[in-house]
Structure 1
Amino acid sequence: MNFDYLEAFMYVVRFKSFHKAADALYLSQPSITARIKGLERELETQLFTRQGRGVTLTAKGKEFIPFAEQMIRTYQQSKQKLQTKTDERKFTFGANIITAQYVLPHFLRYFQEMQPDLEYDVVCGGNESMMEAVSRNEIDIAFVRQQGKELDDLIIRPFLDNSILLVVHPDHHFSSTLQYTAHKIAREPLVFFECGAFNWNLVHKIFEAHNVKPTIRHRVGNMEVAKSLIVNRAGIGFLPKLAVKKELESGELRSIDVSHLMNFNQQIEGVQSVGNPLSLPIERSLLESVKLFEQQSSLISAH
C-alpha cells in the first residue's frame, strides 16, 4: 500500500480538513484529494464524507485508523533498520526554563512509553535562543512562549494552555467567585515574578489602563520563591498556569477570576523547522503525550 496515501489519510484525520492537511504536508489540496481517492480505490470503500469546509470519517474510515497507524509504524521501523548511519543524531527537545521545569518531566514520561527505542536530549534556554537553535536544525522541536507571529522558516503550533492567573492563599479574603477591580487588586501586597518566559506586559497594562499603581511588595526572579511567598501569605501574585498547577490541585493556592480586566490567555507553542519536519510517528506521540498530560491533570483536579 502506498505510504503517501496512508500519510495523507492520517493528516486529514488529525486536521479534519483536506486543506489543512495539505498545508501541513506542504502539498496542494488536489494532491491530498488525489491521495485519499487513491487509498479509497485500493480499499474499495469511502473513508470520508464532506461537511462544508471540513470532512468527517465514515464508519469504515474510523475502523481503518489503527491499521493505518500500524502500517506507518512498521514502515518507519523498517526504514530506520535499513538506514544504518553511524552518525545518526539523537532527537532533541528544546524548552524555555519554566516549560522544562514544570511540563517536560511529566510529558516526557508519556512520550518515552510511546517511543521506547528513541534516544533524545533536552536543551533549556530562553525563547529566542531556542527558536534560533531550531532554525539551525540543532533542535528538532522547541516549546516556547506564544510568539504571536509567523516566520517563513519555522512551523509554530499551539501546544499547551499557559494563561496567567492571579493566585492567592486559600484563606485570603478574595473570593474566587467575585470579580475585583484593578484598584482593589492594586491595594493588595503583590509578589511580582518576572522573567522572559512570558509576556508580563499584560500584567502591567491592567494597572496602567486604570491609572493605578500596584503595591509591589516583593520582586523575585525565581518561580519557587514567588510561589512560596504567596503560600506563606506574603502577598498575592500573577503566575503562569502550568507553574502553579500542582499547588492549585493540592489546594495550597487558589485562583481569582480577572478575565474581565484583561485577556490573559497564553499558549506554550511547539516550534520546528520547515526544513526538518517531524516524522508522523513522532508527531503523533507528541500530540498523544500532551493529551495524556492534560487528562492526568484533570483527574488529579477532580479528586
Structure 2
Amino acid sequence: MNIENLEAFVYVIHYNSFNKAADALFLSQPSVTARIQSLERDLNTLLFEREGRNFTLTDKGKQFLPFAGQILQTYKKGKQQIQHVNKAFSELRVGCTVSVSNYVIPEILPFIKKQRSQLQIKLTTAPTEVILEMLLNKEIDIGFVRNVTHPYVENLGYYEDPIRLFVYPNHPFVTKKPLTMNDVSRESLVFFECGSLDWGKIHRLFATLDHPPQIEYQIDNLETAKKLVSKGMGISFLPELCVRQEVKEGHLVPINIQALGGLSLRTTLVTLKESSLYVSDLFLDVLKEFNWKKIAT
C-alpha cells in the first residue's frame, strides 16, 4: 500500500475538498484523485460516494479513516526516528512572524539558551503561511504563528496579547473616565492593521458607533504606529506586549475601554506531530516559564 495514497485520503477528509487537499500537498487535483482511486483499488472498495463535484465518505471509508491516520502517524514517527537516531540535537530552527520576532523571541531565547547552552539557534521571520510551509518541509523545527489548522501540525500552546487603546501622555483621555468607543470615534486614529482576524473585532465595534471613527493614518508597521501616537498625531489600538517599553518610559499611556473586553492577538506554538520529543519538551518548558496556555488535546 502506497503511503502517498493514504496521505491524499487523509488530506481530502481533513479539508473536505479535493482541490484544497491538492494545494496542501502541492499536487494537481487530478493527481489527488488518481491517488484516491489507486487506494480504492488496493482496498478493493469505494471510499467516497461521488455526485458531480460533491462527495461523501462511504461506510467503508468511515471505517478505514482512523486506521489510515494511525498508519501515517506510525510511518512518520518511524521515519523521524531513523533520521535522528544517534544524532545530537545541536541546532534549533525557529520560524516566527514579525511581531513575534520583535517582541516575544527576545524574551524566550535567553531562557532557552540558559536551559541548553550548547544549542545553536537559527531564526527565520516570515508570514504565518510561509512559516507553515517551512514547517511542513522540515526547514524549521518549530513555529510561532497565528492560529493554523493542519493534519500534520500540532499546536503546543498559545499566548494572548491583550489589545488596548494607547494615547500620548498629555492626551485628555489620560484624566477622563469612564470612556466609551463613541469617545474614541471623535479622535484622530492611527490604525495599525496587521492582517489578523482579531482586528476584525475592532472593525465590528466601529460599525456599532453613532458615526465612524476618524482614521487619519492606516499603518501596517507597528513601530511607525507607536511613533505617530507618541508624537501626538493620534491615538491607537495596539498589542500590549509590543508597547511595554514605551509605556515604561512614559511615551505612551494605556487607556481602559470596557467595550474592548477580551480582545487580543493570539500567538500559537506549532511543530510537526512527528517532531522529536526533545523539541516539544523544550518548548513545553517555555510554556510553563512564560505562562503560555497549553492547548488541550
Q: If the TM-score is normalised by the length of the shorter chain, which range does it land in? A: 0.5 to 0.7
| 2:265 aligned with 1:286 | no
Distance 1:94 1:229 in 2: 29
Gaps of 5+ in 1: 1-26, 28-79, 295-303
Equivalent AA in structure 2 for residue 286 of structure 1:
F
Q: What's the counterpart of residue 269 of structure 1?
A: 268
- 1:257, 1:116 → 2: CA distance? 41
d(CA) in 2 for partners of 1:216, 1:169: 17
Cα distance in structure 1, aligned partners of 2:248 and 2:289: 17
CA offsets per residue over residues 197-254 of structure 1, 9 Å max, x none?
A: 5632122111112353110111222211110111111110011122112112333211
Q: Distance in 2 between matches of 1:287 and 1:232?
A: 40
1:157 to 1:171, Cα distance in 2 relative to 1, 3 A: farther
Mapped contact 2:157–2:287 kept (Cα < 8 A): no
SS of corresponding position for 1:210: coil
Q: Say whether the 8 Å CA contact 1:95–1:144 is kept in structure 2.
A: yes
SS of the aligned residue for 2:158 comes to strand
Contact preservation (8 Å) 1:144, 1:197 = no
CA distance in 2, matches of 1:251, 1:158: 32
Q: Which residue of 1 aligns with 2:93?
A: 92
The answer on whether the counterparts of 1:161 and 1:267 sit within 8 Å (CA) in structure 2 is: yes
Task: Indicate the residue corresponding to 2:35 in structure 1.
Answer: none
Q: Provide the TM-score with structure 2 as the length reference.
A: 0.62
SS at match of 1:266: strand
Candidates 83, 88, 110, aligned match of 2:86: 83
Aligned equivalents of 1:197 and 1:222: distance in 2?
13
Q: CA deviation at 1:270?
A: 0.3
Q: Secondary structure at the match of 2:262?
A: coil
Contact 2:97 2:128 in 1 (8 A): yes
Give distance in 2, aligned partners of 1:234 and 1:100. 27
The structure-2 alpha-carbon separation of the partners of 1:244 and 1:278, relative to structure 1 and needing over 3 Å to count, comes to farther
Distance change (3 Å), C-alpha of 1:293 and 1:171: farther
1:137 matches 2:129:
no
Does the CA contact (< 8 Å) of 1:206 and 1:262 recur in 2?
no
Per the alignment, residue 113 of structure 2 pairs with 112
Is this contact kept in 1: 2:168–2:230, CA < 8 A? Answer: yes
Structure 2 stretches of 5 or more lacking a match? 1-69, 71-83, 292-297
Is the Cα–Cα contact under 8 Å of residues 177 and 257 in structure 1 kept in the other structure? no
Contact 1:193–1:239 (8 Å) recurs in 2:
yes
Q: Secondary structure at the match of 1:233?
A: coil
Count how many residue pairs are aligned between Structure 1 and Structure 2.
Answer: 211
Aligned to 1:252: 251
Over 3 Å counting, the alpha-carbon distance change for 1:114 and 1:153 in structure 2 is same
The TM-score with structure 1 as length reference comes to: 0.61
Q: Quick one: percent identity of the two aligned structures?
A: 28
Equivalent position SS for 1:162: strand
Q: Mark the CA change 1:125 to 1:191 in structure 2 (over 3 Å): closer, same or farther.
A: same
| Native 8 Å contact 1:162 1:267 kept in 2 | yes
- Partner in structure 2 of residue 121 of structure 1: 122
1:92 shift after superposition: 0.7
Change in Cα spacing, 1:129 to 1:259, as seen in structure 2 (3 Å) is: farther
CA contact (8 A) 1:97 1:125 kept: yes
1:139 counterpart SS class: coil
Partner deviation per Cα, 1:109-162 (whole Å, 9 max, x = no partner): 121111111122111100111122222222211111245xx4322111333221
After TM superposition, list the pairs within 5 Å mapping 1:194-209 onto structure 2: 194-196=193-195, 199-209=198-208
Task: Assess if the C-alpha contact under 8 Å between 1:176 and 1:254 holds in 2.
Answer: no
Higher mean Cα deviation, 215-224 or 227-236?
215-224
